[in-house]
Structure 1
């Protein structure tokens, strides 16, 4: 046997744990959330297969940092999902990227910066303490990705 034990009693707020005990620390932490989308595009001024219309199943990974609130939460994962769904994914999933994104060559390098900017702008509208985008990684294939990082975005 593994010593599995069913919980005798669930903790209750203000009875077993007090609100001032919910947040364990005051340090910056990073949370990450992943999404996928399917899209078509083609590249301009490029000699290779990607100059032709083709598609990918992209994967996006966000790294968002900030400070915990009194409950011990830095950001609600559901809020990240809502930003993705309402502000970013609507321009990407099952779309022709050359048509739905701003005028650009739809390389992974350009798209990842656009995604970074959209998430950074959206976070400014939420009331999370010090929340910022640390990185966005965009996989175009399972083994190829482009990345945008805070230190690169702020120093330009």
Structure 2
């Protein structure tokens, strides 16, 4: 087994690599980021435990796609985090979902469509004409129970 070699120096933009080489391709690439938020809710017209007030640590897995920019990036992961926090987490984290969401039964199936609509609007404003779009969204209500949406299903 060979030992790990520590580079003698870091690659330098402008001398070791040209700015024009940073964008390796012009293909559509998907990037995915995961988020969590905590909230309480209950379900109406449901005969089971979830008719009672209870809470979850929800996990949202957001996949967007686009063509890479001049430095080889579709979207900065930090920008995705800010977008999610501004559009979803700020409104839902540590809230009673039945009060803060539009009138609906707060099922994962209903919530994910609302999230898609909100995130898609925000992404359009963020990306402008760059073509970054929401491709897939998964909402985990528990570690083993989720609802998902894909772009093709939303048309």
Shift of 1:139: 0.4
The equivalent of 1:132 in structure 2 is 133
The equivalent of 1:11 in structure 2 is 11
Q: Does 111-120 or 121-130 show the bigger shift?
A: 121-130
Q: Structure 1: 5+ residue runs without aligned partners?
A: none
TM norm structure 2? 0.96
TM norm structure 1? 0.95
Shift of 1:81: 0.5
The equivalent of 2:74 in structure 1 is 74
Shift of 1:11: 1.0
Deviations 1:77-129 (A, max 9, x none): 01101111111101211110000111111000011111111111111112362
**Distance in 2 separating the partners of 1:2 and 1:136:** 42
Task: Count the aligned residue pairs.
Answer: 154
Partner of 1:127: helix, strand, or coil?
helix
Q: Structure 2: 5+ residue runs without aligned partners?
A: none
- Please list every run of at least 4 consecutive aligned residues from structure 1 whose deviation after the TM superposition is greater than 2 angstroms: none
Q: Which structure shows the bigger proportion of residues in helix conformation?
A: 2
